[in-house]
Amino acid sequence: MDQELVSSWPNVQFVPDSYVRPPEERPGKLVLSSCKTNIPVVDLEGHDETQIILHIMKATKDFGFFQAINHGVPKVLMDEAMAVFKEFHAMTEKDKTSEGSKDPSRNCSFYRSSKNYQTEDVHVWRDVLTHPCHDPLEEHMKFWPAKPTRYRDVVGKYVVELRKLGEKILELLCEGLGLGASYFSSTGLSGNPVLLVNHYPPCPDPSLTLGLIRHMDPSLITILLQVENGLQVFKDGEWIAVEPLPHAFVLNVGLVLQIISNGKLKGAEHRAVTNSTLARTSAAFFIYPCNDIVIEPEKALTNACNPPLFRSMRFKEFQSNFLSRYANSEAVLQFLSTGHKH
């Protein structure tokens, strides 16, 4: 059973030992309805941009997360993209594996649990399709799945819209931080968006396992599309469930933005729980810097009273160190820290 994708176990009756999380990580009773459910909702339409900026800054400072409505991405396209993501994950294991493994460099790939499957002690209950989304799009698209037949067409349109939305949110955050609106796009810091399509099949005992362990994202920001419950955010010692709102996106601050803003904006830990009846699909659009870009606290945001809290390093180095410490945010932050405290 271990050799197959989680989605290939249609009638699994119990959680295999290799998927049972250690007791301190298990969601237990906090799987769904017993959690609080409240993260801020930000309406991105409207004429008063100053108010929108204030609202986003407050939400990201308080929670590291918010849901965006009236964001400008066509609803029909969101529905089509989610439908095609579900169609991909509903294909046979053979088709998913061959359609997701066309890229010899493995930037576009399909895998179960996590990229550390071979070395991790315990797996998580998910299958993943991931691929790059930066320009020139056609060059990456040839490695994207060709089945379902409309995948490239629909997802190609979807990622163009998400890149626009990402730029818009980053511009608003820049203004909130007092940086020029084009700060990220002009520096290459937002030049490397990647899509990750998570699929969490129904699980016989969601209290024992996780779809995704507690982590922070190694991105500038992440834009998540979800239609079923399962995402939880850790705040003030508690797990908060992020209930899907129709046609909203869930936005969160990643570690790269935490570094650049010198801690003015902070990421939040989050995880995904599984569900005993429904399969859940979520699509995370990560805005990453290009590999060779140096990430460090922006000089305009540091001074003698606000010394840089984070070391400077290339994104590539940041990412490999992040991955080796994935589940341990404290160790990640310690690695990044200059030793200065707020």
- Binding residues for ligand AKG, rule: CB under 6 A, are 196, 198, 212, 217, 224, 226, 230-231, 270, 272, 282, 284
Nearer to ligand AKG, 252 or 262 (CB): 252
Nearer to ligand AKG, 113 or 282 (CB): 282
Q: Nearer Cβ to Fe ion, position 52 or 281?
A: 281
* # residues contacting Fe ion (CB under 5 A): 1
The secondary structure of 124-150 as a DSSP string is: -S-EEEEEE-PSSHHHHHTTS---STT
How far apart are CB 104 and Fe ion at their closest, in Å? Answer: 27
Contact between residue 69 and residue 43 where contact means Cβ atoms under 8 Å apart: yes
**Smaller CB separation from ligand AKG, 174 or 332:** 332
Shortest Å, Cβ 50 to ligand AKG:
31
Q: Residue 291: what residue type?
A: N
Q: Which stretch binds Fe ion (CB under 5 A): 92-100, 212-220, 256-264, 325-333?
A: 212-220
Integer Cα distance of 288 and 182 in angstroms: 16
Q: Residue 99, interface with Fe ion (CB under 5 A)?
A: no
220 binds, among ligand AKG, Fe ion, none (CB under 5 to 8 A by kind): none
Find the Cα–Cα–Cα–Cα dihedral 177, 181, 187, 190, rounded to 10°.
80
Show Cβ contacts of residue 239 under 8 Å, excluding neighbours closer than 6 positions. 27, 30, 35, 232, 233, 271
Q: How far is the CB of 222 from Fe ion (least distance, A)?
A: 6
Query: Which of ligand AKG, Fe ion, none does residue 301 bind to, with CB < 5 to 8 Å depending on kind?
Result: none
The answer to whether residues 210 and 274 touch, using CB atoms and an 8 Å cutoff, is yes
For the record, the structure tokens of 138 come out as: 């056609």
Q: Which residues are near Fe ion by CB under 5 A?
A: 217
